[in-house]
Amino acid sequence: MKTCFFEQVAVARGLNGIGLALVNPAIQSLVADYTDDNTRGSAFGWLQLTGNIGSVIGGLFSIMLASTTIMGIAGWRIAFHIVALISLMVGALVYLFAVDPHFCNSESNEQLVRKSAWAEMKGLVAEAKAVVKIPSFQIIVAQGVTGSFPWSALSFAPMWLELMGFTHNKTGLLMAIFALASSLGGLFGGKMGDYLSDRYPDSGRIVLSQISSGSAVPLAALLLLGLPDDSSTGVLHGLVMFIMGLSISWNGPATNSPIFAEIVHERSRASIYALDRSFESVLASFAPPVVGFLAEHAYGYNPVSYGAGVASVASDRSNAAALAKALYTAIAIPMLLCCFIYSLLYRTYPRDRERARMDSLITSELQHIELERCHGVGDFYAGTEDATVIDIEYGEEELDSNDDEKALMHHQVEQSGSLSASGENLTENRLSKGAKNPVADNLSSILGALYCYGGISGV
């Protein structure tokens, strides 16, 4: 059946959106888990580069298929089938070869306690509430709303270029140049973010994003208001669009995504990326209507009525100028706000990062304490069972079956000493980097005392 209804397309598009909403935060979380603080920006830059290049190639491929028919099937339907086939292939490859670093140990997986669906839901809600309360997360979401606004407004850029007289092919080429530059800019920004973060841990990434968002204001003014409204200046438009795309695309891979991975515990990374995308996407979706409203009601854009025929060149140029002013308003003001909001991170980011590190450290140490205590109890009972079944060699004299109590005491003392020593060595090794930090020293002492207490008490 070849009929197609709007409701069917809407439902299919909604299901596609749900799938992307599930996949994107998981991918970002995996990238954050597989990298460290000094390479995370580069990884997110590569992710942005490959994603944008894939979007460009997919768009060109779908355009070529749109006017063709294969085996009696319309080309646009073939495009949907190819997307479904690629998705199935990627899903199979992920299932067979992808490894989550949190669950790479099968032995530890067997010890995980399965929770009910209601308990899992309550845990997710509690985790989301904890993430939303983090000041740095609130600031990045606020700048993300303003920073995503211009990118959504740029959906009018092809229309603006065509109103100036550019053909469909030239418009597509200019937009492809901008997309390619944005992809390369993401990779460059990610690498620069790692470099500055290594040299200036508390401010390097923030400064880079302020430069990126601030550069959008003069570059957009040059592109939209400075260059002549003439299709003969395609080279100049392409050059400015390339420089602009290369400069304004640093925020995500250089700052936002790496900082998100640093201000929460590893278990909450998928949640923080999902919450960020939900807030930013919903609020940034209002950008195109705002641009249209400004163009028509503030800058004199006169839409051509349906059936009125081809508009004159003068009318198109007038509408192009009005749309350019509306676009610049929707780019400059949000980017200035974005640059200002980033400055608030200078105060909150170092504190939230150290809090997350301490939380991870405490959680890790408590897990090791529990593991050592469990091993201590197992060894204790194993030694007790052996003492009651066979003779135990105590020093150089043989113990008979009536000396079980003495053997048990000897085994418990040895177990306490070895457990205490292992606990002290473990905390010293894991906290060696924070030896000069008084909080870390106190934590080491407390954890060492807990190890000793657990070993001596035999629990």
Rounded average pLDDT over 30-42:
87
> In the block, which residue shows the tokens 């949190």?
102
pLDDT at 282 over 70: yes
Mean of all residue pLDDT scores within the chain: 77
pLDDT digits 0-9 by tens, 234-256: 899 999 999 999 999 999 999 99
d(CA 373, CA 104): 23
In this prediction, residue 452 has a pLDDT band, given cuts at 50, 70 and 90, of very low
The confidence score (pLDDT) of residue 231 equals 82
pLDDT at 190 over 50: yes
pLDDT at 438 over 60: no
The confidence score (pLDDT) of residue 375 equals 63
pTM higher than the cut 0.85: no
Sequence ranges of the domains in the chain = 6-66+130-343, 353-457
pLDDT at 127 over 60: yes
pLDDT digits 0-9 by tens, 83-126: 889 889 988 988 888 777 766 554 444 445 566 778 778 888 88
| Homologous superfamily, domain 6-66+130-343 | MFS general substrate transporter like domains (1.20.1250.20)
What the block records as the tokens of 306 is 């349906």
pLDDT digits 0-9 by tens, 359-404: 878 877 777 777 777 666 555 545 554 444 444 444 444 444 444 4
d(CA 174, CA 305): 28
Per-state percent for the chain, helix, strand, coil, to nearest 5:
80, 0, 15
d(CA 45, CA 257): 10
The confidence score (pLDDT) of residue 378 equals 54
d(CA 260, CA 239): 33
